[in-house]
Amino acid sequence: MRVPPYARDPEWQRFFAGAAIGAIISWVVFSQIFGILQEKQVRQLNVQREIIAQLKHDLNIWQQDYIELNKENKKRLTIQSIDVKVINAQSYGIDTYTAFRIEEDIKKDIQHITAKDIETVYKSKELLKKAIENKTYIIDNRTYHLHIETILFFTNISIELKLKQQ
């Protein structure tokens, strides 16, 4: 094999030397530009980390304030409405209108707790139970007493009652 004649030609030698020098210069320029861009990215990431840390701190402050406000609001909750339900009226053969009248009578008796603090009403729940359970109802010549099955306290008081015949 012989060496191609282009290797000895000065024009080709200048071309290959220029290509090699151009490759080296372009690699240096590429490295410089890449380094500058990476430095910008690193700065931007650091700024974003600081912003995220600040936002997390602010979020914790807001959450603590929110929790404290919720605690204060729970302390100040008041009774908005009263629901009363007689759950075993059909077993004694009492019609729905009579059960409705009993429910309305109970609501009227304990209406004074509306717009009062839930905590205060809860503390006096025994008095509330006695006020409901001590009433007697005479329906069709039979005497009935009420027994409280459940009481749920929140802004809406829900009371489930059972009738007991004497």
Looking at residue 1, what is its pLDDT?
Answer: 54
pLDDT mean values, one per 10 residues, the chain (166 residues): 66 88 97 97 97 96 92 80 92 90 93 87 92 89 92 91 90
Domain of residue 137, residue span: 81-165
Looking at residue 6, what is its pLDDT?
Answer: 63
Q: Give the largest Cα separation in the chain, rounded.
A: 132
Report the number of distinct structural domains present in the chain.
2
The CA R_g of the chain, rounded to the nearest whole Å, is 43
Residues 6+ apart with CB under 8 A from 59: none
Q: Are strands 142-152 and 81-86 parallel, antiparallel or unpaired?
A: unpaired
Spatial separation of the C-alpha atoms in residues 132 and 110, rounded to whole Å: 8
On whether both 28 and 71 belong to a single domain, the answer is yes
Task: Give the 3-state secondary structure of residue 82.
Answer: strand
On whether both 70 and 119 belong to a single domain, the answer is no
On whether both 90 and 57 belong to a single domain, the answer is no
Residue finishing a domain among 31, 57, 75 = 75
Looking at residue 35, what is its pLDDT?
Answer: 96
Counting Cα atoms < 13 Å in the Cβ hemisphere of 128 gives 26
Residues 6+ apart with CB under 8 A from 110: 82, 128, 131, 132
On whether both 92 and 141 belong to a single domain, the answer is yes
Spatial separation of the C-alpha atoms in residues 157 and 82, rounded to whole Å: 5
Task: Give the 3-state secondary structure of residue 84.
Answer: strand
Task: Give the 3-state secondary structure of residue 85.
Answer: strand
Run of H or E residues at 129: helix 125-133
